[in-house]
Amino acid sequence: MSRRTVLTVGASGVFGLLVAGCGSSGANPSTSGAGGDFDFTAATPAAQLIPAEDRQGAPEFGGELLDGTTFESSSLAGDIVVINFWGSWCAPCRVESPEFQTVSTDVADAGVAFLGVAVRDQRQLAQAFTTDFGITYPSLFDPSGEVALAFNGFPANVVPTTILLDRDNRVAAVYVSAVAEDDLRTSLQTLLAEDLTPPPTTSPSTGAPGE
């Protein structure tokens, strides 16, 4: 495992294409990322997944949740994970986020974890968004977009965007647009079925002939 390093890339440069009117909270969270071999090359088509043999490991990351508590991605080990990048200023997020909440409730007992990442936002506005839309799964507060930068080559200036991780912490999909509820359900059902497939078994030894 690579040594964890604190990301120091600021909001300038990568985030030059800011959405007009989006706010900044001031101090950045202590979001960090390291490890993994993921390198973004192309968006995943809706309701599809990256073939298992082509998946790459996700980086470790962490930071501060909207409620002020500390989060580390290692706490989700073994789960299928839905990472949704959103902002209170993002119009499509107002449609997508409540649908994600519905799905998260439906699959909570199946080993699927949801994590929001509030980007280029103000804490109070992001908190109000989650309250207004009834979002109960946790969201990282990430005003500078450092979590996105942990995923090499990820299109950090696009919101909403969603990353799916399989149970082996590999990137199974990157959806660079709003995700329809039915498409999300289809992708998760495919991942869940994948994980339920039993490993190949070997026949017990029968001993030497004549025994």
Residue 200 confidence (pLDDT): 58
Domains of the chain: 32-38+56-194 (3.40.30.10)
Q: Is the pTM of this model over 0.75?
A: yes
**Which region, left, alpha or beta, applies to residue 100 given φ > 0 means left and ψ of -120 to 50 means alpha?**
alpha
> Who has greater pLDDT, 67 or 205?
67
**In the structure encoding, which two tokens stand for residue 111, read together?**
């080993």
Residue 29 has pLDDT above 90, yes or no: no
Residue 18 confidence (pLDDT): 33
> For the chain, how are helix, strand and coil distributed in percent, rounded to 5?
25, 20, 50
Q: Rounded mean pLDDT of 22-32?
A: 42
- pLDDT tens readout for residues 70-117: 999 999 999 999 999 999 999 999 999 999 999 999 999 999 999 999
Residue 136 confidence (pLDDT): 98
In which element (H, E) is residue 193 found?
Answer: helix 181-196
Residue 10 confidence (pLDDT): 33
Distance of CA 94 to the CA centre of its chain: 18
Closest CA to 115 of 31, 57, 36: 31
In which element (H, E) is residue 92 found?
Answer: helix 91-107
- pLDDT tens readout for residues 123-176: 999 999 999 999 999 999 999 988 988 998 888 889 999 999 999 999 999 999
Q: Rounded mean pLDDT of 176-196?
A: 93
